[in-house]
Structure 1
Amino acid sequence: MLIGDVARRSGVSTRMLRHYDALGLVRPTGRTVGGYREYSAEDVRRIFHVESLRSLGLSLKQIARALEDPAFTPSELVSDLIRWTEDRLEREQELLGRLRTVDASAPTGWQDVLRIVELLQGLASTSAARRQQAVLAQAEGVPVPAELLAGAVLSESDPNVAGALRWALARAGGDGVAALTAGLRSEELDVRRRAVGALARMPEAPGAAAALADALGDPDPTVRRHAALALGGRGVTAAVPTLVAMVVEGSHDVDAAEVLGTLSQDPDTEDRITTALADELAAPTADSATRIRLTQALVELPGTTAQEVLRRLAHDEDRAVALVASAFLGLIREQPPEDGHDERP
């Protein structure tokens, strides 16, 4: 079979067949009287073997060794090929991500493209100072893809850089909420904490409140606390149990008490919060320090029900609790009522 016929039947170009011949990879068995290459059926089978191995990513040198060396086993080479292919795919994915980031920035000229590339390079730096500078150096009024910033937030471990990224993300609007919400579902605790920290700073962004509400059920208390403070500050009463737990545990209890006070502007919610705090005060596991924190939290509540609980606590058998309650009752008496009338008990 002449080279042209082999090329048509195998799909391998005549140029590549000549290259195989020159390398000694597939040499035609014979020659015609006129000196043309003539391939046997066995030669054609070898061509198909070469093409099959090429489809796996083997180099021609590796293929030659695989076909000629009986001691050459495929297991090690295939493992190497898997690793090389995974590395190549990772690089390709990184390139695809960069291209999508540039596209999402809707560049109007090459200067915009270069600015995004510069930001990407800055964020990839091993220097925290350079990463922070890359975020803060973005020009006013020039859009930065929120998804890019959200992804950087989820992977950033330096607190200063993370703060700059959250600031930039909040300015960019709500487009990064989807990426942050996905971060809340991560199995990595640090990623979930970064995600909720960023969402807590943009609770008004579309979808942020729903994501924070889901975070109230997170197994990690830090994630729950961030979500509760953000939601409670927006008037979401679903945060009440977590906020009360924060007072009990002494974790950001002052902040939690202030948010509970804000939520208590609604009479029904105030009764619910007062009852929850009173129940914790009566819990047999509550030590003196815990009961003092709960007493202090009651002071933040504006209603008369909370003041009645404080009056009872002023006579508590725990001397420290009684002193704290009495002191706060004294401060409450000294504050003039809003309507100008003296309503001291």
Structure 2
Amino acid sequence: MTMSEEETNAMRALQGLENGSSSVRLKAAMAVGTTPDPRFVDKLIERCAIEPEFFVREILTWALTRHASSMTVPKLIDELRSERAQARSQALHTLSKIGDRQGWPAITRALLTDADDEVARSAWRAAVVLVPDDEGAELAEVLTTQLGRGERETQLSLSRALIALGEVIMPALRAAMTDLDPRVRRHAIATERLWNDPEAGFEFAIEEAKRVVALGATGREE
């Protein structure tokens, strides 16, 4: 019995996802997303965990969003327990793109405080998308424990996540402004500056915050 043209194309796409050429993998991922098929889901998720090229991972994620969330979300949640950091990070990224709030309970404190910066950043973004309206303040409290962490890119990701939560961040953010760690205070103050003036930019906000902390203040100069 010969394979149908559809099955042949499916086999070709699945094989293409493992090709040594990134352009071939990209085309294969686009083909899979263009013609969704439940048989592709496991391979797409498996490839997300090991794909070295960012732009190919983005298309793999897009392809997964083209499949039914009832099929993809449980499998992505399983990936969050992987020992491979990229598997956790990409699964979180994909959950944020799918936007199905059934994924929210899987965004644990352990992921939000993951030792790997990319995993933590992906968790922050996913949490902000998936958090129920009545749990925003609790999420803000967890996120503010990460203030002062990492380099500028990581700090900016956290500030953006906090700001996206809205007004509920203010009690936790203001508490962080009096933290004993000057890095935490600077980051908290910079986040408030960015909240008040999004056009100012993070670099300006962090420099302003450094000056404020150096003056031993938490607001304006006297």
Whether these two folds match at TM > 0.5 is yes
Partner of 2:58: 163
* Per-residue deviation, 1:222: 3.3
Paired letter, 1:119: A
Quick check: 1:110 aligned with 2:110?
no
Q: 1:202 to 1:229 in 2, by over 3 A?
A: same
2:96–2:130 CA contact under 8 A, matched in 1: no
Quick check: 1:253 aligned with 2:155?
yes
Aligned ranges 1:115-134 → 2 under 5 Å:
115-134=9-28
2:33–2:66 CA contact under 8 A, matched in 1: no
- 1:220 and 1:293 map into 2 onto residues whose CA distance is 19
* Per-residue deviation, 1:242: 4.2
Partner of 1:241: 141
Partner of 2:206: none
- 1:122 and 1:201 map into 2 onto residues whose CA distance is 24
Unaligned runs of 5+ in 2: 198-208
Partner of 1:143: 36
Percent of aligned pairs with the same residue? 21
| Superimposed CA distance per residue, residues 11-32 of structure 1 (whole angstroms, 9 cap, x where no aligned partner) | xxxxxxxxxxxxxxxxxxxxxx
Task: Decide which of 216, 220, 225 is 2:112's aligned counterpart.
Answer: 216
- 1:317 and 1:201 map into 2 onto residues whose CA distance is 37
| Superimposed CA distance per residue, residues 13-66 of structure 1 (whole angstroms, 9 cap, x where no aligned partner) | xxxxxxxxxxxxxxxxxxxxxxxxxxxxxxxxxxxxxxxxxxxxxxxxxxxxxx
- 2:125 and 2:6 map into 1 onto residues whose CA distance is 38
2:121–2:157 CA contact under 8 A, matched in 1: no
Q: 1:246 to 1:217 in 2, by over 3 A?
A: closer
Q: If you compute each CA radius of gyration, which structure gives the higher value, 1 or 2? A: 1
Tell me the TM-score normalised to structure 2 length: 0.71
- 1:317 and 1:209 map into 2 onto residues whose CA distance is 36
- 1:286 and 1:232 map into 2 onto residues whose CA distance is 26
Paired letter, 1:252: T
Q: Taking CA–CA contacts closer than 8 Å with sequence separation of 6 or more, which of the two structures ends up with the larger relative contact order?
A: 2
Task: Identify the structure with the greater helix proportion.
Answer: 2
Partner of 1:106: none
| Superimposed CA distance per residue, residues 319-345 of structure 1 (whole angstroms, 9 cap, x where no aligned partner) | 4967xx449xxxxxxxxxxxxxxxxxx
1:246–1:252 CA contact under 8 A, matched in 2: no
Q: Kindly report the root-mean-square deviation, in angstroms, between the aligned alpha carbons of the 2 structures.
A: 3.3
* Per-residue deviation, 1:180: 1.9
Partner of 1:61: none
Partner of 1:275: 171
Unaligned runs of 5+ in 1: 1-108, 303-312, 328-345
SS in 1 for 2:148: helix
Partner of 1:338: none
